[in-house]
Structures are given as C-alpha cells and as structure tokens.
Amino acid sequence: MTSNNDGERVRYFRKINNFTQKDLGERAGLSSQTISNIEREYTGLSSDDAKKIAKAFNITVSQLLGDNSTNSKSDYIDLKDAEHEILSYGGKPISENDWNIIKRILESGTSE
C-alpha cells in the first residue's frame, strides 16, 4: 500500500481483513455511513476515529496512516501477552482453541 490518502488506507485495510463497511463500523463503534464517508473522503479521519479503526484492525494508528517513520518496539504487540479475543485472521476471530495451538507452535520454536 503506497497511498497517503487516509480514506484509501482505511478501505485497503478493510478489504485485506475481509470486512464490510458494516463489519468495520461495528468493530470500531462507528456507523457504516461514517466508514463510507471516511473512505470516500467526504469527511476527514479524526484522531479519535483513527484510534478506533486502528484498534478494529489490530494495528497502530501509525500503521493505519502509513507513517512508517514512527515505528518502534512499542508499536508491536507481543503475542505472548496478547489476548486471543483481539486477534483475527482473515477478518475472523481466532478461537481460544486455535490460539492455544498457535501459542504451542510459537513456544516450541523459541529458545529461552
């Protein structure tokens, strides 16, 4: 993704997560009309909405807005500490059973 356009970036992340505008709105606590207006740039992306949308995608606001210059260790989520309820794959939540399998796989490959 190379666009600096906030609306296009929201649409890009929504599409790769297989979310409809309604899905994203529900996850972010916004209406589907608000999502549509942001994507079509009828309204700007407020910092509050950017935070809600980034959280719905499980990414940082910096990643949502395409600001790679501010990436730091604090921008990453340590999966060891993550709650399975906030993780998704292909737009679908990861079940607790699948999360436990993922953790076992990851832990078997770490050397502590």
Q: What is the 3-state secondary structure (H, E, C) of the chain?
A: CCCCCHHHHHHHHHHHCCCCHHHHHHHHCCCHHHHHHHHCCCCCCCHHHHHHHHHHHCCCHHHHHCCHHHCCHHHCCCCCCCCHHHCEECCEECCHHHHHHHHHHHHHCCCC
Asked if the model's pLDDT at residue 27 lies above 70, the reply is: yes
On whether both 48 and 84 belong to a single domain, the answer is no
In a domain, 48, yes or no: yes
In a domain, 88, yes or no: yes
The single-letter code of the amino acid at 109 is: G
**Residues spanned by the domain of 60:** 6-70
What does pTM read for this prediction? 0.59
On whether both 15 and 63 belong to a single domain, the answer is yes
On whether both 42 and 81 belong to a single domain, the answer is no
On whether both 60 and 103 belong to a single domain, the answer is no
Q: Is the dihedral of CA 66, 72, 73, 74 positive or negative?
A: negative
In a domain, 82, yes or no: yes
On whether both 13 and 51 belong to a single domain, the answer is yes
Return d(Cα 109, Cα 112) in angstroms, integer: 10
In a domain, 1, yes or no: no
CATH code of the domain in which 35 resides: 1.10.260.40
What are the tens digits of pLDDT across the range 48-97? Answer: 999 999 999 989 898 898 875 544 445 556 676 666 556 777 777 788 88
